[in-house]
Amino acid sequence: MTSPSPLQLRVATKDDAEAITALINVAFRRAEDFFIDDDRIDLHSVLKLMTTGEFLLAEEGSRLVGCVSIERRGEGTYLGLLSVDPTIQQSGIGSRLVSFAEQRCREQQSEFIDIYIVNLRLDLPKFYKKRGWVETGTLPFPPELQTKMPCHFITMRKVLGPQASSPAPTD
């Protein structure tokens, strides 16, 4: 029996766009199916996000197992689309990606990171609060997206201090 390949973290290239799109949709389908029917993102949107920011990837060997996007906005950065292969969620990959994103944002001298999470995802505030994020308010859910029940975004922020003891980006 072979052990899984060590987790490798890296910045995505345009060649990764199709795999990123597929991963985001399968991960969000599992997590959000109870309140929304549509795919979370399409290839065009992933490619557009790659021009305004970047995707950070987690791979085991040649298999994409996680991703997150970061986009600089003024003095801060917006983090979005944190996605982990549903078959291996709860294995620490999401935490590793968030730490990698924080490290990358510090390197880019971002003062803080913002995120929007859907209020119906009851697991997410705890996940981020445990990592030093604080709730900062709410925003309406985009009205053009049809949902099965009313929802809104919870906004959260993490202020980035000087480089702390962040885990190294690769094993």
Q: Distance between alpha carbon 61 and the CA centroid of its chain, in Å?
A: 20
Task: Let me know if residue 63 belongs to a domain.
Answer: yes
Q: Is the dihedral of CA 83, 85, 89, 91 positive or negative?
A: negative
Task: Let me know if residue 91 belongs to a domain.
Answer: yes
**pTM of the entire structure?**
0.88
Task: Let me know if residue 170 belongs to a domain.
Answer: no
The range of the structural domain enclosing residue 38 comes to 7-159
CATH number, domain containing residue 42: 3.40.630.30
Task: Let me know if residue 49 belongs to a domain.
Answer: yes
Task: Let me know if residue 90 belongs to a domain.
Answer: yes
Q: Distance between alpha carbon 49 and the CA centroid of its chain, in Å?
A: 13
What residue ranges of the chain have pLDDT lower than 50?
1, 164-171
Domain count across the chain: 1
75-109 tens-digit pLDDT: 999 999 999 999 998 899 999 999 999 999 999 99
Task: Let me know if residue 2 belongs to a domain.
Answer: no
Q: What is the pLDDT of residue 159?
A: 97
